[in-house]
């Protein structure tokens, strides 16, 4: 189910743009913290990801004013982006379930119609 959902999610162009935007913001965060705070790369990735998914990381905090200002904008952008991403994925899963229900109903109608026709031809 998860793999099939991911494949159909990635196949839609508008969803791919959301994925690209998410990765772009993540990379922007990593480079922003690297060059504004001069952290190690692993600390930048760790902080950018933990900020983006809103878990936070109390062990590493921006010290410079530029880093703090960047962090504020990064947090707002990340929260909005992740909320959009979660909403889009949820809607996609709902759409898949709805389309499967429609397919099942259509299949049941076709089977019922064929069964009725076969009974009519026997009589």
Which CATH number characterizes residue 15's domain? 1.10.287.70
Q: What is the pLDDT along the chain (123 residues), one digit of tens a residue?
A: 678 767 777 787 778 888 888 899 999 999 999 999 999 999 999 999 988 887 776 677 889 999 999 999 999 999 899 888 888 888 888 887 888 777 777 777 887 777 777 766 665
Three-state DSSP state, 100: helix
Range of the domain at 50: 2-122
Write down the pTM of the prediction. 0.68
Where in the chain does DSSP place strands (E)?
none
Helices 41-52 and 65-122 cross at an angle (nearest 10°) of 50
Residue 78: CA atoms inside 13 Å, Cβ hemisphere, count? 23
Number of domains forming the structure of the chain? 1
């Amino acid at each position: 189910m998860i793999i099939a959902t991911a494949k159909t999610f990635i196949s839609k162009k508008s969803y791919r743009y959301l994925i690209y935007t998410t990765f772009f913001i993540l990379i922007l965060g990593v480079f922003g913290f690297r060059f504004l705070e001069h952290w190690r790369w692993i600390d930048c990735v760790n902080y950018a990801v933990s900020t983006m998914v809103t878990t936070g990381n109390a062990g590493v905090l921006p010290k410079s004013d530029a880093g703090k200002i960047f962090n504020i904008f990064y947090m707002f952008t990340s929260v909005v982006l992740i909320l959009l991403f979660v909403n889009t994925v949820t809607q996609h899963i709902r759409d898949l379930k709805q389309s499967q229900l429609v397919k099942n109903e259509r299949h049941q109608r076709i089977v019922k119609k064929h069964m009725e026709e076969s009974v009519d031809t026997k009589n």
